[in-house]
Amino acid sequence: MGMADTNKLLKIITLLLSVLLIGSAFQLYTNLEKINLQNQTITGLVAETNAQKETISGLEINVNNLKQNLSTTETQLKNETQRRQQLEEEIINLTMVSRADYDVLAVDNNDVGHLIPLEVILRNGTGDLLLNVANVLLDPTLQSSAQTAVHVAREITRKNLADKDILINIQSPVEQLLISGGSGGSAMTLTTIAAIQGKTMRKDVLITGTINDDHSIGQIGSPRAKGLAARDAGVVLFLVPQGQKDEVGQIGIEVREVGTIEDAMKYALQ
């Protein structure tokens, strides 16, 4: 190979190396640009993430503040409710003429009987009937049963009570008890009579049964469960509507059928 051919070959090699170098440099530049763009994207995402973290932190602070405010509000509401109840009790005490207390029988979802405190208060007023019930599932007839109870009590005592309000309080210490079919009617009637006449209910005698306008006592459900609850509470005499003594069966205490409120008064009032 002559000198001329050698020089030509060197030029070709140099040209090829230059092209490769330029291509590599361009590729490197392109890659660097992509890396810069990716870095910018990552930086933006990091900044956005930090901003979202700050937003979440702020929201968490707001949520905590709201929880504290809610807790404070609930406490204030509870205190206000207690103060309102105290004021209502004070007003009742100031206007109360007489009161009587007893127990009404109810059952839970498992058909187990329970005693629920029953209170009837007479106070100066305008002849209103107020029914206050707590923690008890009510049969729709309970309101009308209370009205019938007061009506019968007025007839028996011969008091029109136009200037008196009657408050009937039924507040169960256990939730989800059921007073069904107006079965507390006879107990409400007797307790109202006791309040009107200033008498006392016998706590060792309990009754279950509905109340009718003609003073008769109607049948109820779950008589045995209620009888067992009465027995376990120390009751010695359990009064039931006519025709239901056999449904109670032998429970270790006396079970007696009564047809009217007048019959029941002989045993339950003293």
**Contact partners, residue 267, CB within 8 Å, separation at least 6:** 202, 205, 237, 239, 256, 258
193 domain residue, yes or no: yes
pLDDT at 11 over 80: no
Rounded distance, CA 102 to CA 115, Å?
Answer: 10
Domain assignment of residue 186, yes or no? yes
Select the more confidently predicted residue: 116 or 7. 116
Q: Is the pLDDT of residue 137 over 80?
A: no
Examine residue 158 and state whether it is found in any structural domain, yes or no: yes
pLDDT tens-digit map of 194-240: 999 999 999 999 999 999 999 999 999 899 999 999 999 999 999 99
Contact by Cβ (8 Å): 114, 107? yes
Q: What is the pLDDT of residue 223?
A: 94
Residue 2 domain-assigned?
Answer: no
Q: Is 176 left (phi over 0), alpha (psi -120 to 50) or beta?
A: left
- The predicted structure's pLDDT at residue 48: 84
Q: How far is CA 118 from the centre of its chain?
A: 20
Domain of residue 155 covers 98-268
Rg of the chain over Cα atoms, rounded to whole angstroms, equals: 42
More confident residue, 139 or 261: 261
Residue 87 in any domain: the answer is: no
CATH number for the domain harbouring residue 182: 3.30.230.10
> How high is the pLDDT of residue 181?
54
Instruction: Say if pTM beats, i.e. exceeds, 0.95.
Output: no
Edge-first strand listing for the sheet containing 96-107: 129-134, 164-171, 113-124, 96-107, 177-179, 136-138
- Count of domains for the chain: 1
Query: What residue has token string 């007073």?
Result: 179
